[in-house]
Structure 1
Amino acid sequence: MRICWQQAYSMLRTKILMVGPPESGKSMIANYLGDATESSGGEYNPTQGVRIMEFEWDLGEDPKTGNPLRADVELWDCGGRKEFESCWPAFSKDAGGVMMVYNPDKAQQHLTELEKWYTYFVAGQKLDNSQCVLFAHRKPNAPAGSEEPPPAGQLSEVHCVFTDLEEEPEGIREEFTKLLFGLFCHHRDRQDQEEMRIVGNT
C-alpha cells in the first residue's frame, strides 16, 4: 500500500482482500464494487482460488491538501473453501485491508471460520482493526427473519455492518469508501511519523 501525491490529486494504491465462507456473497459484492457483471444462469459458481479485480475509486477530498482523493484498488475475491488455505500466504502478501463477509442467517455456522480468517489475515499480518470491516451480508431472496448479532470475541472489535444488495446497495459503497479513506489516513499518518523520526535523527 502506498500514497502518491500528484499536482492535481492524491492517490492511494492498495490491495484489499475479500474473504469469508463459501456462498456468503463475496463475488456479488466484488462485482458490484468493480461494476462487473457475470453470467451464471442463476447457479452458484464458487471462486476457484482467487479472482482479482482492478478499478479506481473516488474518495472525495484530501483533508490535508484539499486535492481530489482517489484510490487505485486491487480487490482480491478469495475462494472460501478449505482447499485454498495453502494459498493464504500469497493472498495476504502486501494486503492493505481486509473485508470479511458472512451470511447472518448462518452466523453460528460461520463463527469458527470467521475467527480463523481474522487471526490469519488481520492479526497475523499485523493489521489494525481499522484496516478491516465485517459485512453481515443478506443474499437475494433470503427468507425474512431477525438479524443475528455479529460474532463475539476478537471480532467484536471489528466494525460490522449489515448489507443487502437488493435493499441498500449504496450502503455497501459507503462502507467501502469509509474503509479506503481510513486506510489512506492510516498510511499517511505512518508516513508522517516516519518522516518526523528521520528528521529527528539528522
Structure 2
Amino acid sequence: MFKAKIVVIGPSESGKTAIANFLGDQTDQLQSEYSATAGVRILEFESTVSSGNREIDVEVEMWDCGGSEEYEGCWPAIASNTDGVIIVYNPFEPSDKDQLQNWFSYFVTGQGLREECCTLFAHCKKKEATRNISPPIKNIPFCITNLDGDPGIVRDQFRKLLQKVASKISESREKEELSIIN
C-alpha cells in the first residue's frame, strides 16, 4: 500500500474544507455555515486507483490547510514531503485569482513537484454560471467544481490526481530499490 500526502490549499472561504470532507467521506461534517480552518486539519482515508493493469490501494493523508495569510509561517511544515496538491479557489472572487500563482509557486514549483501532481478546482459554492471560467494557471489539470450540482467531477478529478501521485511514488520506489541492488 502506498501512502500519499495531499495538501488542499487556497484562499480563505474558497471551499477547501467542503471538498476535503467530501473526498474523505466526512459527510457528517458537511456544513452550510462557514467556519475557518485554524492552521491545518488532517483527514486520513483509503482509496483505490488503477495504474496500468493493476489496482493500487493508497492511504491518503489529506491536509486541509487554512487559507489565511497568518498561517504562511506554517507553510514549510505543511509543504514538507507533499506528494500532491489541490488548489481550490472561488472563480467569482477576483482576489482569489490574484493569490493562485503564490500558492502554486510555493507548494508545487518550490517543492519540485511535477505539474501533473497538482490540480486546480474553480469551486462554485452555488449553481452559478460556469461556462466562461478559464484556467488561470496553464498546464495544470483544471476543473470547475460544485458539490451541489455535480460532485462526481470532484471525485473523478481527485482519482486522476491520485493515479498520477501513485505512479510518481511507484517510480521513486523502483529507483530506490534499483540503487540498493546496484
Partner of 1:3: none
Question: What SS does the aligned partner of 1:104 have?
Answer: coil
Q: Which residue of 1 aligns with 2:153?
A: 171
2:46 to 27, 38, 56: 56
Are 2:144 and 1:158 aligned? no
Q: Provide, for residues 34-92 of structure 1, a one-character-per-residue CA deviation record: whole Å limited to 9, x for no partner.
A: 1112265x3211101111100001214x436x3x3111000000000110101101111
- Cα distance change on mapping 1:83 and 1:198 into 2, 3 Å: same
Q: Is the 8 A contact 1:104 1:147 kept in 2?
A: no
1:128 is matched with which residue?
A: 114
TM-score (norm: length of structure 2): 0.90
Contact 1:33/1:173 (8 A) holds in 2: yes
Instruction: Provide structure 2 residue ranges, at least 5 long, that are not aligned to the other structure.
Output: none
> 1:112 is matched with which residue: 84, 95, 98?
98
Unaligned 5+ residue runs, structure 1? 1-10
Q: Give the whole-Å Cα distance in 2 for the aligned partners of 1:25 and 1:110.
A: 12
C-alpha distance 134-39 of structure 1, shift in aligned 2 (>3 A): closer
User: Residue 188 of structure 1 corresponds to which residue in structure 2?
Assistant: 170
Corresponding residue number in structure 1 for 2:12: 22
**Structure 2 equivalent of residue 80 of structure 1:** 67
After superposition, the CA RMSD in angstroms is 1.9
Cα 1:145–1:125, aligned 2, differ >3 Å: closer, same or farther? Answer: closer
Q: Which has the larger radius of gyration?
A: 1
1:38 aligned residue (26, 29, 43):
29
TM-score after normalising by structure 1: 0.82
CA–CA distance in structure 1, aligned partners of residues 95 and 116 of structure 2: 25
Deviation of 1:111 after TM superposition, in Å, equals 2.3
**Structure 1 residues 95-152: Cα deviation after superposition (integer angstroms, max 9, x where no partner):** 111000001112x32223110011110011110101110001111x35446532221x
Q: State whether residues 44 and 62 of structure 2, in contact with CA within 8 Å, keep that contact through their aligned partners in structure 1.
A: yes
Contact 1:12 1:71 (8 Å CA) reproduced: yes
- 2:122–2:143: 8 Å Cα contact kept in structure 1? yes
Residues 142/82 of structure 1: CA separation in 2 closer, same or farther (3 Å cut): farther
Percent same amino acid among aligned pairs?
40
Could you say if the C-alpha distance between residues 149 and 50 of structure 1 is closer, same or farther in structure 2, counting changes exceeding 3 Å? same
